[in-house]
Amino acid sequence: MCGIVGYAGIGDALKIVIEALKRLEYRGYDSAGIAIRSDRGLKIVKSVGEIGNLENRVRGMSIKGATGIAHTRWATHGIPSEVNAHPHPDCRKKIALVHNGIIENYRTLRKELLSRGHEFRSETDTEVVVHLVEERYYPLRKKGIEDALFVAVREVIPLLEGSYALVVVAEDEDYLVGVREKSPLVIGIGSGENFLASDVSPLLKYTSEVVYLDDGECARLDRKSFRIVDKEGNTVQPGIHQVDWSPKDAEKGGYEHFMLKEINEQAGSLHDTFVGMTGENFTLSPMLKTLVPYLKSIEIIGCGTSYNAGMVGKYFIESLTRIPVGLCYASEYRYSSPAEHTPLIIAISQSGETADTLAAMREARRRGSVTIAITNVVGSTITREADFTLYTRAGPEIGVAATKTFTAQIMVLDMLGLRLFEAKKGDPAQLGRLEGSLRGVPRLVQKVLENQERIKEVSRFLSKAHTIFFIGRNINYPTAVEGALKLKEISYIHAEAYPAGELKHGPLALLSPETPVVAVAASDHVREKLYSNVGEVCAREAPVVIVAEEGDETAWNYTDDVLTFPACSPELSPIPASVVLQLLAYYAAKERGCAIDKPRNLAKSVTVE
Ligand code: F6R
């Protein structure tokens, strides 16, 4: 989604906000802009397309100033164009504002503002806010009210409905104002300089100390200090978080794409996540320990890839603990009317900011469920609203397609499954065996990563297809679903996943020599069944790729295109098998010349419903 950066310091604001903006590119955008308090007044420059276009526009302009804001826009209201790009100025062009989110009541507000003589330049919902601010700001300033901009913005907040992170700058004020309501906004505390941003990645180069604003909070920030107030105007004591990601973690490090780098980091991210869930680093809270023996059901919620990780978790936790585990898309959960109360909800979101997941989790809490969040981002909204948080320790994920956070989410779910099993007095020998196997998963993944050549070769032929089916059974059905999602989002090849047994109930009608099928096989109780289904595919002359364990000779009876992962406990096979599928998607997309890190129409963090 859109990205926000704000800077108040002593440095060259233009250079700093553009540099920081580049670190938000991964969120997806179609236009960009800056507003700098320069020695010649408030200077606003915008452009459509890449940040490079914006850089070309400002090159040669003398924009000197130490306070400024910047934005990458992902069009929601109005086409991608220069006028619709942020920052939006007020009628006198002395105030400028950037916004993430949606102002739901903008039509009414716009009509009222037009009737009061305001001049609108864009089609956006955002522009109403800057005009509302101007109506209050100039009279306050005329009256000599201190911090007139800060006061004006706070007066506007109650008029807005929807979700917003806003950052405002004015020609005659040497500070920025930031507000948050259901859309993330983070303060970065520097020395002699302070920042605002929509997430921490653009701040890593400058500081590791951050403060996440809560809904309804408004911040006033200059180069020396910042102050936060809540909706009632009470000063809020900031909770300062230390971010332990290094700026290098958010760089490509010699790889052609962030996605490839992140796929290749998985042995490390899985190890770190495993360690984070063991020994002194993790104990089930006394409250959960008491709850678990009587737990009638669990429900997992999430979106996209996080949902798919939840599906793996469902199979794993259910078969191990015998606790029934439901699974629901967060966007569906929030509007559902369940017949029975689910005592424990696990909400999964790598970003911790996905609007649908947050809303679903709030609904779950309203229904009286205990909530556990699984996320990759320390201090993100989900961590502040869930009863308990479990962290994936994957480091920053910049590529839009989730990869290392997906496998880390599975690791957390598996480890949580073990702890639930323990709390239910499960067999210690089985527990020890599984924990030992999970410890070995990073090694399995490393082996997959060392053998990418064959995957690359197979991807070449898949990259020519128009439609590809992915099939799997039991715990590897979610592996197939995630494989299809990865392929479609970055290569734009239509891909669909089915439980292998479902093929004959409809999809077989679509199979032909032009529709390849990728099957995922593990050495489990459904292996033979899966191969029968693969036989059905071969009978329709559809080309088959099998992702199978090393040493699985049966796979070769059906195809020469066998891609392997090291032998492992079948319940853990989704992790190494998924790494094979991630690489398959990556190389197919590369073969097709796609914009792998920034697939069209997609954003890394979806903060609107
Ligand atoms: C796909 C992908 C998305 C996200 C989904 C949820 O590669 O990244 O499907 O998984 O938008 O995002 P989070 O996990 O941040 O809630």
pLDDT tens-place string over residues 446-480: 999 998 999 999 999 999 999 999 999 999 999 99
Q: Is the pLDDT of residue 607 over 80?
A: no
> What pLDDT digit, counting tens, does each position of 114-141 carry?
999 999 999 999 999 999 999 999 999 9
Task: Give the confidence band of 269 by pLDDT, cuts at 50, 70, 90.
Answer: very high
> Do the domains 444-596 and 252-439 match in fold?
yes
Q: Does domain 252-439 have CATH number 3.40.50.10490?
A: yes
Task: Given the residues 43, 46, 182, 604, select the one marked as catalytic.
Answer: 604
From 2, 218, 328, 594, the catalytic residue: 2
With beta carbons less than 8 A apart as the criterion, state whether 176 and 228 touch: no
State residue 409 phi and psi, 5-degree precision: -65, -40
* 606 has a pLDDT exceeding 80: no
The residues with which 222 forms a beta bridge, in sequence order, are none
- Report the SS3 class of residue 50: coil
Give the other-Cβ count within 10 Å of 583's Cβ: 26
Pocket probe for ligand 1: among 1, 198, 306, the residue whose CB has the most ligand atoms within 8 Å is 306
Provide the b/e sequence for 525-552 (b: ≥16 CB within 10 Å). Answer: ebbeebbebbebbbeeebbbbbbbbeeb
Shortest-distance Cα residue to atom 3 of ligand 1: 304
Judging by beta carbons within 10 Å of its beta carbon (0-12, 13-18, 19+), is residue 220 exposed, middle or buried? buried
- To which residue do tokens 């890593």 refer? 204
pLDDT by residue (tens digit) across 520-578? 999 999 999 999 999 999 999 999 999 999 999 999 999 999 999 999 999 999 999 99
State the Cα–Cα distance between residues 179 and 150, nearest whole angstrom. 10
CATH number (3.40.50.720, 3.60.20.10, 3.40.50.10860, 3.30.1360.120) of 3-249 reads 3.60.20.10
Q: Quick one: which of 149, 185, 171 has its CA closest to 1?
A: 185
Q: Which of 24-28, 119-123, 352-356 has the lowest mean pLDDT?
A: 24-28
Task: Verify cis geometry, omega within 30 degrees of 0, for the bond prior to 87.
Answer: yes
Residue 39 is predicted with a pLDDT of: 84
Which candidate, 147, 163, 126, 144, places its Cα nearest to that of 221? 147
**Looking at residue 277, what is its pLDDT?**
93
d(CA 512, ligand 1 centre) in Å = 32
What residue ranges do the domains of the chain occupy? 3-249, 252-439, 444-596
What is the best residue among 257, 305, 410 to mutate for testing ligand 1's pocket, by most ligand atoms within 8 Å of CB? 305
Give CA–CA dist 83/86, Å, rounded.
8
Any catalytic annotation for residue 2?
A: yes
For 126-191, the DSSP string reads THHHHHHHHHHHHHHHHTT-TTHHHHHHHHHGGG--EEEEEEEEETT-SSEEEEEEBS--EEEE-S
Among 250-259, 335-344, 450-459, 535-544, where is mean pLDDT lowest?
A: 335-344
Please give the distance, rounded to the nearest whole angstrom, from the Cα atom of residue 443 to the centre of ligand 1: 26
In the chain, % helix, strand, coil (3-state, to 5) comes to 40, 20, 35
CA of 330 to the centre of ligand 1 (A): 11
pTM here is 0.87
Cβ neighbours of residue 48 under 8 Å, at least 6 residues apart? 30, 31, 80, 81, 82, 85
Predicted confidence (pLDDT) per residue in 163-186, tens digit: 999 999 999 999 999 999 988 999
Contact between residue 285 and residue 382 where contact means Cβ atoms under 8 Å apart = no
CATH number of this structure's domain 444-596: 3.40.50.10490
The span from the CA of 67 to the CA of 60, in Å, is: 19
HSE, CB side, 13 Å, CA atoms: give it for residue 380: 28
Q: Distance between CA 371 and CA 387 in Å, rounded?
A: 5
Between the CA of 498 and the centroid of ligand 1 the distance, in Å, is 20
Any catalytic annotation for residue 425? no
For residue 1, what pLDDT is reported? 65
Q: Residues with Cβ within 6 A of ligand 1? A: 303-306, 349-351, 354, 357, 401-402, 485, 489, 605-606
Q: What gap in Å lies between CA 548 and CA 412, rounded to an integer?
A: 24
CB 65 within 8 A of CB 173: no
Ligand 1: which atom is nearest the Cα of residue 350? Answer: 14
Average pLDDT over residues 99-120: 96
